[in-house]
Amino acid sequence: MRTSPDARELLAISLKTFREELLPHIPPAQRYTALMIANALGIVEREMAGLDEAGHTMLGALALLYGEDADNSLSGEDLRERVHGLQHRLCIEIAAGDFDHESQDTLMECLEEIVEARLSIDNPKALKP
Amino acid sequence: MAALIDDTGRPRLEAWLAEATGATRVSVADEGRLGGGAISLNLAVTLDVDGGPRAGRHACVLRAQSAAGIQASISKGQEFAVLRAAFDAGVAAPEPIAACADPDVLGVEFYVMRRADGVGAGHKVVKSGQPQRDLARELGRQLGRLHRAGPDTPGLGDLPVPNPCPALDAVHAYKAWMGAAATCDPVLAWGLRWLEVNAPPPGELVLCHRDFRTGNYLVKDGQLTAILDWEFAGFSDPMEDLAWFCARSWRFGRNDREAGGIADRADFYAGYEETSGRQVDAQAVAYWETSAYVRWAAVAILQARRHTSGEEPSLELALTGRMLPEIELDLLRHLKAIGTMTTEAGVG
The stretches of B114-182 forming alpha helices (DSSP H) are 122-125, 133-146, 166-178
Q: Which amino acid is residue B276, in one-letter code?
A: S
pLDDT value at residue A129: 66
Residue B20: domain span = 9-114
DSSP B250: G
CB B187 within 8 A of CB B331: yes
Nearest C-alpha of chain A: how many angstroms from B176?
Answer: 15
Spell out, as residue ranges, where chain B has pLDDT lower than 70.
1-2, 35-39, 67-70, 340-348
Q: Does A38 touch chain B (CB under 8 A)?
A: no
**In this structure, what CATH number is given to the domain that contains residue B92?**
3.30.200.20
CB B179 within 8 A of CB B71: no
Q: Residue length, chain B?
A: 348
Q: Is residue B184 part of a domain?
A: yes
Q: Is residue B293 part of a domain?
A: yes
Q: Does A122 touch chain B (CB under 8 A)?
A: yes
Which of B114, B139, B156 is the endpoint of a domain?
Answer: B114
pLDDT value at residue B4: 80
**Does residue B128 sit in the same domain as residue B192?**
yes
| Burial letters B133-171, b for 16+ CB under 10 A, else e | bebbbbbbbbbbbbbbbbeebeebeebeebeebbbbbbb
CB B173 within 8 A of CB B302: no
pLDDT value at residue B339: 81
Contacts (Cβ under 8 Å, ≥6 apart) of B315: A33, A36, A37, A40
ipTM of the complex: 0.95
The reply to whether residue A33 touches residue B186, judged by beta carbons under 8 angstroms, is no
Q: Residue length, chain A?
A: 129
**Does residue B228 sit in the same domain as residue B313?**
yes
Strand partners, B208: B234
**Residue A110 CA: distances (Å) to CA of A67, A103, B171, B185:** 12, 11, 23, 12
Query: Using CA atoms, how far apart are residues B306 and B321, in angstroms rounded to an integer?
Result: 10
**Does residue B77 sit in the same domain as residue B152?**
no
**Does residue B61 sit in the same domain as residue B150?**
no
Q: In total, how many domains does chain B have?
A: 2
User: Of all helices (H) and strands (E), which one includes residue B112?
Assistant: strand B110-114
**Does residue B151 sit in the same domain as residue B61?**
no
**Does residue B66 sit in the same domain as residue B213?**
no
**Residue B191 CA: distances (Å) to CA of B293, B296, B333:** 8, 12, 12
How many Å is the maximal CA-CA distance in chain A?
57
| Burial letters B17-29, b for 16+ CB under 10 A, else e | bbebbebeebebe
**Does residue B265 sit in the same domain as residue B167?**
yes
Nearest C-alpha of chain B: how many angstroms from A124?
Answer: 9
pLDDT value at residue B1: 47
Q: B10 in helix, strand or coil?
A: helix
Q: Is residue B4 part of a domain?
A: no
Q: Which amino acid is residue A76, in one-letter code?
A: G
Q: Is residue B107 part of a domain?
A: yes
The reply to whether residue B329 touches residue A39, judged by beta carbons under 8 angstroms, is no
pLDDT value at residue A38: 96
DSSP B259: B
pLDDT value at residue B5: 83
pTM for the whole structure:
0.93
Closest Cα in chain A to B335: A108
Nearest C-alpha of chain B: how many angstroms from A107?
Answer: 9
The stretches of chain B forming alpha helices (DSSP H) are 9-20, 76-88, 103-106, 122-125, 133-146, 166-178, 186-197, 239-246, 265-276, 282-308, 315-321, 324-347
Q: Does A116 touch chain B (CB under 8 A)?
A: yes
Q: What residues of B are in contact with residue A54 (Cβ under 8 Å)?
A: none
Q: Does A123 touch chain B (CB under 8 A)?
A: yes
Cβ count near A35 (within 10 Å)? 13
The reply to whether residue B187 touches residue A111, judged by beta carbons under 8 angstroms, is yes
- Rounded to the nearest 5°, which phi and psi values hold at B2? -65, 155
Q: Is residue B2 part of a domain?
A: no
The DSSP secondary structure of B25-70, one letter per residue, reads: EEEEEEEEE-TT-SSEEEEEEEEEEESSTT-EEEEEEEEEE-SS--
**In this structure, what CATH number is given to the domain that contains residue B135?**
3.90.1200.10
**Does residue B128 sit in the same domain as residue B277?**
yes
- For chain A, the structural domain boundaries read 7-127
**Does residue B166 sit in the same domain as residue B285?**
yes
Query: Using CA atoms, how far apart are residues B169 and B161, in angstroms rounded to an integer?
Result: 10
Interface of B with A (CB under 8 A): 182-187, 189-190, 192-193, 197, 315-316, 318-319, 322-326, 328-329, 332, 335-336, 339
Q: What residues of A are in contact with residue B256 (Cβ under 8 Å)?
A: none
**Does residue B107 sit in the same domain as residue B180?**
no
* Structure confidence by residue, pLDDT tens digits, B165-201: 999 999 999 999 999 999 999 999 999 999 999 999 9
Spell out, as residue ranges, where chain A has pLDDT lower than 50.
none
pLDDT value at residue B103: 86
pLDDT value at residue B2: 57
Q: What residues of B are in contact with residue A127 (Cβ under 8 Å)?
A: 329
